[in-house]
Amino acid sequence: MKKILIIGIGAGNPDYVTIQAVNALNQVDVFFILDKGAEKSRLIELRKEICRRYIQGDDYRFVDATSPQWDRTSENYLSTVDGLNRDKQVLFERLITSEMRDGECGAFLVWGDPTLYDSTIRIIATIAATGRHDLEYEMIPGISSVQALAARHKTSLNHIGRSIEITTGRRLAEGFPNNADCVVVMLDADNSYRRYADQEDIEIHWGAYLGTPDEILVAGKLKDVVDDIERLRAEARLKNGWVMDTYLLRRSSSEL
């Protein structure tokens, strides 16, 4: 029997790692680290720093592997993501087969929370369902960028008694949700918030690299800060080669 742990490690600050995650880290024999290129090497180092900080002893090892890439220019988003996940399944299955001994525990360290816009659990569940491996798996939740965003801005995600929606920039570009006046947006590569910059009643709480030394925060009426956010985002991408941001759009309400 082999065991896989899918461990949420939080949104960037090592202090976001939960006690449950620490206990899980100390069970692991081998950590699978996916390399997504030199630009994101700091994310690999953070994962290793978390292990050094929280694991008692040094009886564990890292196995590095190059992460499959996907075509971000493709117009068929779902088909492209399906293909990416199939490629990852092949890679994960190879790692489980060749880099783990029977009785060992392996782990994937997932940025933020593995239940939110991450496919690791789906891939591992698919591998287990094939029956080709004597495999069990478990998922440990983490502090997501959504939680970190609200905490760093010292605000709540929703108005009293009202709903929120968590969505992507791609979906926000199609229109503001009809069933919620508070919208958390992730995975927005195209600054979709600009579409609503002419509306007087929308405020934004925006954050990039949440929990890290590079953290950037902006809040205010969307129409007043939209240019600042776009400029800061462009500068950060140019400096770091990538940007990871999340934001909350909220219509004004007297019930806060």
Regarding whether 129 and 7 lie in a shared domain, the answer is yes
Residue of 137, 127, 138, 152 whose CA lies nearest to 246: 152
CA 149 to chain centre: 12
| Residue 92 and residue 212 share a domain | no
119 with 70, same domain: the answer is yes
- Domain around 201: 145-251
The token pair at 16 is 């976001």
- Please, which residues bridge with residue 248 across strands? 184, 205
Return the CATH number at 149. 3.30.950.10
Determine the pLDDT at residue 254: 43
Domain CATH for 48? 3.40.1010.10
Q: Are residues 15 and 113 in the same domain?
A: yes
Q: What is the reported pLDDT for 67?
A: 85
What is the count of structural domains for the chain?
Answer: 2
Residue 52 has pLDDT above 60, yes or no: yes
Sequence letter at residue 101: R
pLDDT tens sequence across 15-38: 999 999 999 999 999 999 998 766
> Is residue 190 domain-resident?
yes
Q: Quote the CA–CA distance of 184 and 158 in Å, as a whole number.
A: 10
Do 126 and 217 fall within a single domain?
Answer: no
pLDDT, tens digit, 9 for 90 and up, residues 86-109: 999 999 999 999 999 999 999 999
Task: Say whether both 13 and 133 belong to one domain.
Answer: yes
Mean pLDDT for the stretch of residues 219-239: 96
93 and 156 housed in the same domain: no
13 and 118 co-located in one domain: yes
Look at residues 140, 166, 191 and tell me which one is the last residue of a structural domain: 140
Contact 119, 111 (CB under 8 A): no
* Residue owning tokens 């776009």: 230
Give yes or no: residues 97 and 182 share one domain.
no
- Tell me the average pLDDT of the chain: 92
Among 97-101, 125-129, 239-243, 244-248, the range scoring the smallest mean pLDDT is: 239-243
CA distance to 28, 60, 139, 160, per residue, from 134 (Å)? 17, 21, 17, 48
Residue 256 lies in a domain: no
Q: Is there a single domain that holds both residue 76 and residue 151?
A: no
**Residue after which a domain boundary falls, among 110, 140, 170:** 140
Within this chain, do residues 130 and 244 fall inside the same structural domain, yes or no? no
